[in-house]
Structure 1
Amino acid sequence: MTAEVNNEVFVPQFEWIFHSGAVFDGHRLVPGASAVAVSGGIVSAVGTDAELRALAGPSTRTVDLAGRLITPGFTDAHVHAAYAGVERLGCDLAELSGAQACLDRIAEHAGQPAGPENPAGWVTGGGWYKGDFPGGYPDRHTLDAVAPHRPVYLINRDHHSAWVNTRALELAGIDASTPDPADGRIERDSNGFPSGTLHEGAMDLVARVLPPVTDQVLAAGIRHAQEHLFSVGVTGWQEAILGSYGGYPDASAAYRSLAADGALKGRAAGALWVPRDTTVESVPALVESFLERREANAAAGFRTTSAKIMVDGVPENYTAAMLDPYLRPCACAGDAPADERGLLYLSPEVLTAVSIALDGAGFDLHLHVIGDRAVRTGLDAVAAARAANPGSAGRHHMAHLQVIHPQDIGRFAELDVTVNAQALWACNDDQMTELTVPLLGGERSGWQYPFAGLEAAGARLAMGSDWPVSSPDPWQAIHVAVNRAHPDYPDAPPLVPDQALALTSALAAYTSGSAWLNRAPGGTLVPGAPADLAVHSANPFDLDPAGLSSLQSDIVLVGGEPVFIRSTADSGDALLQRTAP
């Protein structure tokens, strides 16, 4: 910790010293370490209080951790920050509980005057929860009662369905004669008329007539989302869809402008969206466009390292691809098969072709997979890409991974496919017990979110939130990963409890695991690493696991600069002080 120049010994004076706590370095709780020093935007040293405080100077800022934990900043490996920010600035239903609370919020927005950029007076936003409505999906008449004259388009929390009212259907020209698109489905009433919920590609039937979401709106949303992510200790993330989806345009231009202006402070990367109408013949042009977009984004300081492919949907609307049929026939009108097994949005042939081409072009594959057939099909595509491109360094990953056939567990390590887990979902909440398990049955329900089995088989682990689908707070997801139960459902039994992760594994996945996946600096607290770090409100290794969800991030730094300080007497500004001269 000293330097010698011209035979004189100089002792560095650190800018920051965090002392008297516990240190998790991204992989483990460091034995004997109680302090971290920061200078020049990097981690300078990790050691004991005595070792580091002896090197404090008159300008050193010291933080008394008082037994708390300091970790690398969290990296969210799968988030929709642009969508989340825009929706939080619009009709935001994400933090509400119950149908009536949603309707009250919608009525409030419907009562606001229309603006020049929205002459039809559209009410847009999202975040409604399927578990709040009978059968999982509300109808247009419920919306009509609170917004009879204003068109309404509200995306649900998982972003696989939209709720619309009668006026919205009229403006979009949708009626009983409108066919379901190939990649989606329209919920219908007994007369075949759209009932008000649109799934997957059917969302676009209304989204195409919405007022445009401008780059300025997206940029405002990203800035808003960034501040919220910092407040929960997230210092880096992967924007999981950069392309036209669900009424949103590509947010790349907004990210480029923020990066160029220095307003993008977090370590953000992005995944370019592979459209669901991709064909084998269109793959070369797609890859060429991706290469051009990657270069343009990189020139502005925004990395687009991945390609996002949505292999299937979600089980609650029968679009997750299953090896065996759902236990309940699809209730939709038309010619739904009695042995419904869900959707593969790209045929195996197309998925394999695009995976090989994108891997060969240096993109990491980011695959949305929910059902066991989607998992197997995705693994087959990665295997083909690895075989076609020997020596490929692709950091391919699969997000969500709800149902995995036991025969496929070992393939993740064999193919070096990272598990990109959204651990908050691995619990028995209303949606799981009332909507999901009845469709899957007992055996397949026991295959859900097998994190411990994947880890034991040697798979890499990363974590993300899928915000605004669910909370971006990593401590909520870590709580469920460790307990397999949600703090809001204390009386519910754990979901497949033998698949719980140790706290060390969950923390490592959300820090070093996700940063590695994102090809981002940081994710560790070791000398020389970027000083992206978070001080938390307690040491979770001292807590009962049932209390993990109570933790908060109190101080957050990116590159050695504070981006969030919780302003309470015992955890925010009062922790910051300068040493005496």
Structure 2
Amino acid sequence: MPADLVLLSARLLDPGTGGFLPHTALAAERGRISFLGDDRDARALAGPGTTVVDLRGAVVTAGFTDGHLHPVSGAERTMGVDLSACRDLDALRTALAAAVRALRPGAWLRGWGLDPNAFGPAPVGNAALGPVLDGVPALIDLFDAHSALASEQALELAGVDGPRTFEQGSEIVCDADGRPTGLLLEDAACALVEAVAPRPTEAGTRARTAEVLAAMAASGLTGGHAMDANGDSLAVYAALEAEDALPLRLRIAPWCRPEADDAEVADLVRLQGTGGAQWRVAGVKLFMDGTIDNGTAWLEAPDCHGESGHAYWPDPQRYTQVISALHRAGVPTATHAIGDAAVRHVLDSVEKAQAETGRADGPGAVRHRVEHIETVPDDTVRRFAPLGVAASMQPTHCCEYTRADHTDNWSRRLGEERAGRAFRCRDLWDAGARVVLGSDWPIAPYPPLQVMAGARHRRPADLSLPPHGPGQALTPLRALRGMTVNAAWAAGEENHAGRLAVGHRADLTVLADDPLRVPDTELAGLPVVLTVLAGRVTHRAAWL
């Protein structure tokens, strides 16, 4: 049978070793790599329907997989005004004023990507934006997507006029007189205003998601670990695949919230393995804490504001029970844990689950993960490898939202000691942990080369600041492995994904040059020549 795809005149880069294979051609059939060899033999595999591409010396490697992203919810969140470039209140007010002028009378303003550092040392609140948002219903997501800022009009429409008690770690921030400041912390609080704000139509969400996924493919992504399945997102994936508009292979982990009872946990178990050809439910996402910037992380000792002293789960032992139940059912988990106490509790819970049921290695093993791991001490770093827990890291969070001089909100809250152990990618790797890299889009930009560049140079994308914790930078090969080999391992797919080998998936990223030789500060600009999913081209440079 003729091949579906033949790539010629290629340099084939093995992300496992960092060396080039002794071949110049690759062929794919039925979604798998079927041949590695020379151009002449590869040409003989082509038939009338084969896609044949002469790469002219471009570099082929295993397809890049983002270890943590939110395609559908991110598509919805980013339909509003992008505020990520606002570095101070003047810039924020200017951007919001322009957005208000473009609104229809009575329409809501939605925004996203707001960095709390724009407020300087002052607390985040709508009073600073009052003149701009006067009479305008507005809901603005802060960059971490764990908090939002609502205008006075939005609070009034939602009936939010004071503090409330929630079943999970959420808060309506109020002033000394009990009046809401507009800052809403965590999901339950944000949902009060979300409930009265207009939502995009199904068609609008589907179209925006398709647009985002196409752009992700153009950036070199062939896959992603999607950390939510909220609302109608699974239906969106099914519809896009039916329309041949799903250019990424997606592994989806629906959320388990603290209020979930045993029946709901059982429902999550039953959902496992459902999906389509290029998307499936595989795992469960949980939250052990919130964020340091909001004061909702779980730290061993409170932050410098006296906050971040509690878990997101009101009863952390219930979390431990849920982990054990999922582990017994063979379901891998991914837990958001940013603070040192949160990470420690996740590892304790996994260790307890493994002690109860035993731990198996190799494909098919229940591989648990911790997401984010922003500040942890040495003894916690050393626990990942013995437990076989993957460390899912987002280096661009460190690059874009923290500063080497510790003048940013994140660092000020933590204090010097804890801020000095920020995003310990290298220490975790050196300790034997499997470090998986991702963007957490829409929290940070998704282009994988930018993520790998951040892991290598620890500086913002515009290179305007010195590196934060350069001793935690990854080598070029480790950064590449973090989005290929290690991503496959975390998914239990190392025997058929993440490498260039016959029988492995034909998920491929083709670059204009060797990413291991391109300087760290130039990596993000390296052209993506071709992206291939299951032997099908999803992006092709105009000149090729």
- Normalized against structure 2, the TM-score is what? 0.89
Listed as ranges, the matches of 1:427-438 within 5 Å are 427=399, 429-430=401-402, 433-438=407-412
For 2:322, the equivalent position in structure 1 comes to 354
Deviations 1:46-91 (A, max 9, x none): 3455765676678765545444322122111210111221233333
* Deviation of the 1:169 alpha carbon: 0.8
Listed as ranges, the matches of 1:25-104 within 5 Å are 25=15, 28-47=18-37, 52=42, 62-94=52-84, 99-104=89-94
CA distance in 1, matches of 2:317, 2:470: 37
For 1:219, the equivalent position in structure 2 comes to 206
Contact 2:6–2:42, Cα closer than 8 Å, also in 1: no
CA distance in 2, matches of 1:101, 1:562: 41
* Deviation of the 1:487 alpha carbon: 3.5
For 1:3, the equivalent position in structure 2 comes to none
Contact 2:250–2:278, Cα closer than 8 Å, also in 1: no
For 2:366, the equivalent position in structure 1 comes to 394
Assess, with a 3 A threshold, how the Cα gap between structure 1 residues 409 and 25 changes in structure 2: closer, same or farther. closer
- 2:239 corresponds to 1:257: yes
Contact 2:420–2:469, Cα closer than 8 Å, also in 1: yes
The alignment of Structure 1 onto Structure 2 pairs a total of residues equal to 534
* Deviation of the 1:444 alpha carbon: 1.8
CA distance in 2, matches of 1:232, 1:262: 19
For 1:366, the equivalent position in structure 2 comes to 334
* Deviation of the 1:213 alpha carbon: 5.0
Contact 2:338–2:375, Cα closer than 8 Å, also in 1: yes
For 1:502, the equivalent position in structure 2 comes to 475
* Deviation of the 1:105 alpha carbon: 4.4
CA distance in 1, matches of 2:32, 2:279: 21
CA distance in 2, matches of 1:359, 1:455: 25
Moved more, 377-386 or 28-37: 28-37
Contact 1:555–1:562, Cα closer than 8 Å, also in 2: yes
Match among 276, 288, 297 for residue 320 of structure 1: 297
Assess, with a 3 A threshold, how the Cα gap between structure 1 residues 35 and 99 changes in structure 2: closer, same or farther. farther
Contact 1:183–1:202, Cα closer than 8 Å, also in 2: no
* Deviation of the 1:168 alpha carbon: 0.4
- 2:377 corresponds to 1:405: yes
CA distance in 1, matches of 2:85, 2:221: 19
Moved more, 42-51 or 221-230: 42-51
Listed as ranges, the matches of 1:109-508 within 5 Å are 109-112=99-102, 121-135=107-121, 138-175=124-161, 177-179=162-164, 181=166, 183-189=169-175, 191-200=177-186, 201-212=188-199, 215-243=202-230, 249-278=231-260, 282=261, 284-294=262-272, 297-298=274-275, 302-330=279-307, 341-391=309-359, 393-427=365-399, 429-430=401-402, 433-492=407-466, 494-508=467-481
Segments of 5+ residues of structure 2 without an aligned counterpart are: none
Contact 1:24–1:69, Cα closer than 8 Å, also in 2: no
CA distance in 1, matches of 2:487, 2:24: 24
Moved more, 33-42 or 552-561: 33-42
- Normalized against structure 1, the TM-score is what? 0.83
For 2:542, the equivalent position in structure 1 comes to 573
Deviations 1:483-514 (A, max 9, x none): 2223424442x333222211111111101221
Contact 2:163–2:171, Cα closer than 8 Å, also in 1: no
User: What letter is aligned with 2:293?
Assistant: E
Contact 1:21–1:66, Cα closer than 8 Å, also in 2: no
Assess, with a 3 A threshold, how the Cα gap between structure 1 residues 15 and 136 changes in structure 2: closer, same or farther. farther
- 2:528 corresponds to 1:559: no
Moved more, 56-65 or 34-43: 56-65
Moved more, 157-166 or 128-137: 128-137
SS in 2 for 1:325: coil
CA distance in 2, matches of 1:427, 1:533: 27
SS in 2 for 1:528: coil
Contact 2:219–2:528, Cα closer than 8 Å, also in 1: yes
Largest Rg, 1 or 2: 1
User: What letter is aligned with 1:352?
Assistant: T
Contact 1:26–1:71, Cα closer than 8 Å, also in 2: no
Contact 2:225–2:250, Cα closer than 8 Å, also in 1: yes
User: What letter is aligned with 1:473?
Assistant: P
Contact 2:3–2:27, Cα closer than 8 Å, also in 1: no
CA distance in 1, matches of 2:215, 2:524: 17
User: What letter is aligned with 1:17?
Assistant: L
Contact 2:512–2:529, Cα closer than 8 Å, also in 1: yes
Assess, with a 3 A threshold, how the Cα gap between structure 1 residues 219 and 61 changes in structure 2: closer, same or farther. closer
Contact 2:87–2:117, Cα closer than 8 Å, also in 1: no
Contact 1:25–1:526, Cα closer than 8 Å, also in 2: no
Contact 1:419–1:462, Cα closer than 8 Å, also in 2: yes
Assess, with a 3 A threshold, how the Cα gap between structure 1 residues 409 and 145 changes in structure 2: closer, same or farther. same
Listed as ranges, the matches of 1:507-518 within 5 Å are 507-518=480-491
Assess, with a 3 A threshold, how the Cα gap between structure 1 residues 60 and 203 changes in structure 2: closer, same or farther. closer
CA distance in 2, matches of 1:34, 1:102: 51
Assess, with a 3 A threshold, how the Cα gap between structure 1 residues 162 and 266 changes in structure 2: closer, same or farther. same
Identity of aligned residues (%): 30
Assess, with a 3 A threshold, how the Cα gap between structure 1 residues 61 and 241 changes in structure 2: closer, same or farther. closer
* Deviation of the 1:366 alpha carbon: 0.6
Contact 2:255–2:284, Cα closer than 8 Å, also in 1: yes
- 2:535 corresponds to 1:545: no
User: What letter is aligned with 2:131?
Assistant: A
User: What letter is aligned with 1:341?
Assistant: G
User: What letter is aligned with 1:174?
Assistant: V
User: What letter is aligned with 2:163?
Assistant: T
For 2:509, the equivalent position in structure 1 comes to 534
Contact 2:72–2:233, Cα closer than 8 Å, also in 1: yes
Assess, with a 3 A threshold, how the Cα gap between structure 1 residues 428 and 289 changes in structure 2: closer, same or farther. closer
User: What letter is aligned with 1:41?
Assistant: G
* Deviation of the 1:526 alpha carbon: 1.3
Moved more, 147-156 or 266-275: 147-156
User: What letter is aligned with 2:377?
Assistant: H
CA distance in 1, matches of 2:84, 2:109: 15
CA distance in 2, matches of 1:63, 1:515: 26
Assess, with a 3 A threshold, how the Cα gap between structure 1 residues 388 and 344 changes in structure 2: closer, same or farther. same
CA distance in 2, matches of 1:110, 1:261: 36
User: What letter is aligned with 1:505?
Assistant: R
SS in 1 for 2:408: helix
CA distance in 1, matches of 2:277, 2:523: 39
Contact 2:333–2:367, Cα closer than 8 Å, also in 1: yes
* Deviation of the 1:19 alpha carbon: 1.7
CA distance in 1, matches of 2:164, 2:47: 72
SS in 1 for 2:228: strand
Contact 1:22–1:539, Cα closer than 8 Å, also in 2: no
Contact 1:18–1:63, Cα closer than 8 Å, also in 2: yes
Deviations 1:428-484 (A, max 9, x none): 755663212222223222322222222222212212110000010111111121222
